[in-house]
Amino acid sequence: MTLRAPFGHLKTCDGQILWADEDAHDLLGYAIGALIDMPFADVCAVPSDVGEAGQGGDMPVPARGASQRSRIALRTHNGHPLLVDLRGERMDDRCVLWTLIPAATGLRAERLGLLERRDALTRLANRVPSFDDMPLRAHAEEAERLLAVCYLDIDRLRDINDEFGPLGGDGVLREVARRLRSALPHDAAVARVGGDEFALVLPVASQAQCEMLLRQLLARIEHPIRLQERLARIRASIGVALMVHGSQPTLSVA
Q: What is the mean pLDDT of residues 137-156?
A: 72
Q: Are residues 16 and 67 in the same domain?
A: yes
Q: Does some domain include residue 122?
A: no
Do residues 62 and 32 make contact, with C-beta atoms less than 8 angstroms apart? no
Tell me the catalytic residues. Answer: 196
Q: Are residues 111 and 135 in the same domain?
A: no
Q: Are residues 138 and 241 in the same domain?
A: yes
The pTM assigned to this predicted structure is 0.55
Q: Are residues 79 and 161 in the same domain?
A: no
pLDDT in tens, 204-254: 999 999 999 999 999 999 999 998 889 999 999 999 999 876 555 544 444
Q: Are residues 102 and 179 in the same domain?
A: no
Q: Are residues 34 and 110 in the same domain?
A: yes
Query: How many angstroms separate the CA atoms of 90 and 110, rounded?
Result: 25
Q: Does some domain include residue 248?
A: yes
Query: How many angstroms separate the CA atoms of 47 and 41, rounded?
Result: 11
Q: Does some domain include residue 100?
A: yes
Q: Does some domain include residue 21?
A: yes
Any idea what the CATH number is for the domain that residue 199 is in?
A: 3.30.70.270
Q: Are residues 15 and 82 in the same domain?
A: yes
Q: Are residues 41 and 93 in the same domain?
A: yes
Q: Does some domain include residue 121?
A: no
Q: Does some domain include residue 88?
A: yes
Q: Does some domain include residue 123?
A: no
CA atoms within 13 A on the CB side of 64: 5
Do residues 149 and 244 make contact, with C-beta atoms less than 8 angstroms apart? no
Q: Are residues 186 and 224 in the same domain?
A: yes
pLDDT, residue 2, reads: 37
pLDDT in tens, 178-197: 999 998 888 899 999 888 99
Instruction: Find how far residue 87's CA is from the centre of its chain.
Output: 12
Q: Are residues 185 and 138 in the same domain?
A: yes
